[in-house]
């Protein structure tokens, strides 16, 4: 017969944590919470960055496509090459921020001469809210515009039209980067970051040299090398740069942590030049 073996009782079982164990557990939980918070902030920042850049890209695509469409379908003549870049002047600085396109709704009043004001479409930043790029039209103004070479007259006329409130406009984008530019008096002014550049081929200087006899007809730098005995192909090329702020529209005088994103576009209008009669 076997008898049960009695064992001596062990040490009493502990319930709870020591102070050191509690401090270690709390430190681990704090590190985990901090890591999760940093990860969540990184995910949120990446989402906002992607969303902001996507919005800026969408705005840029709309702006560049609309301008290119108007330029490529513009009316052009020997006297007016379809579009004109009018630099706005502040003191000694010129800002090529205004684009004038000859784009009538119907047939132009004088397709072989100069456009009328109500046949123009104008792109420029809003002088009151520089983060806005506007498209202007001038309804019910049948006056003939100045020659393309008279930029001072262009600036004077367009400034008077803007002051008169006769321009009709709508906003293409409100995400333009705003730049502070010093003025002659030491003050500064905010301007929207949009730039236009134009080039003619043959240029006005080339055409003047041809008319003066310095260049032969075949020596003119015709676009794509295309010319005949009586007609040559001219190219009016446009380059566009806009800088947009990703995310929300910038506020005048308020610094932004975001970096502006540059976008570039181009368009061209091809049209014939007739050889003058001898």
**Residues in a beta bridge with 243:** 262
**What span, in angstroms and rounded, lies between the C-alpha atoms of 165 and 122?**
15
Tokens of 63: 């702006």
Nearest C-alpha neighbor of 269 from the set 223, 227, 231: 223
Q: Does the pLDDT of residue 125 top 60, yes or no?
A: yes
pLDDT of residue 35: 75
Please state the domain extents for the chain.
Answer: 46-274
Between 72 and 89, the higher pLDDT residue? 72
Q: Are 181 and 90 in contact (CB under 8 A)?
A: yes
Measured at the alpha carbon of residue 25, what is the angle toward residues 23 and 29, in degrees to the nearest 5? Answer: 115
pLDDT-derived band of residue 50, with 50, 70 and 90 as boundaries?
low
Does the pTM of the predicted model rise above 0.85? no
- Percentages helix, strand, coil for the chain, rounded to the nearest 5? 30, 30, 40
- CA 161 vs CA 85, 104, 137: distances in Å: 17, 18, 11
Interatomic CA distance for residues 253 and 248, integer angstroms = 15
Least confident window among 46-50, 154-158, 271-275? 46-50
Residue 250: closest CA among 194, 170, 179, 196: 179
Q: What is the pLDDT of residues 197-241, one digit of tens each?
A: 999 999 999 999 999 999 999 999 999 999 999 999 999 999 999
């Amino acid at each position: 017969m076997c008898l049960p073996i009695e064992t001596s009782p062990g040490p009493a079982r502990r319930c709870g944590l020591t102070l050191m164990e509690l401090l270690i557990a709390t430190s681990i939980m704090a590190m985990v919470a901090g890591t999760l918070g940093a990860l969540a902030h990184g995910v949120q920042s990446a989402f906002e960055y992607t969303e902001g850049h996507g919005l800026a890209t969408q705005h840029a695509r709309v702006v560049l496509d609309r301008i290119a469409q108007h330029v490529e379908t513009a009316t052009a003549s020997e006297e007016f090459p379809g579009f004109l870049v009018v630099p706005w002047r502040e003191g000694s600085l010129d800002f090529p921020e205004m684009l004038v396109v000859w784009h009538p709704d119907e047939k132009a009043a004088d397709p072989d001469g100069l456009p009328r004001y109500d046949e123009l479409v104008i792109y420029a930043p809003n002088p009151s809210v520089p983060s806005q790029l506007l498209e202007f039209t001038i309804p019910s103004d049948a006056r003939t515009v100045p020659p393309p070479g008279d930029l001072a007259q262009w600036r004077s006329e367009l400034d008077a039209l803007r002051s008169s409130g006769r321009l009709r406009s709508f906003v293409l984008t409100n995400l333009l980067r705003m730049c502070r530019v010093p003025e002659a008096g030491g003050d500064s002014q905010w301007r929207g970051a949009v730039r236009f550049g134009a080039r003619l081929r043959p240029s006005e200087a080339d055409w003047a040299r041809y008319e003066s006899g310095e260049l032969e007809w075949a020596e003119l730098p015709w676009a794509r090398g295309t010319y005949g005995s009586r007609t040559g192909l001219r190219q009016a090329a446009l380059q566009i740069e806009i800088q947009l702020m990703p995310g929300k529209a910038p506020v005048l005088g308020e610094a932004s942590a975001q970096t502006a994103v540059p976008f570039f576009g181009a368009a061209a209008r091809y049209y014939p030049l007739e050889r003058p009669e001898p």
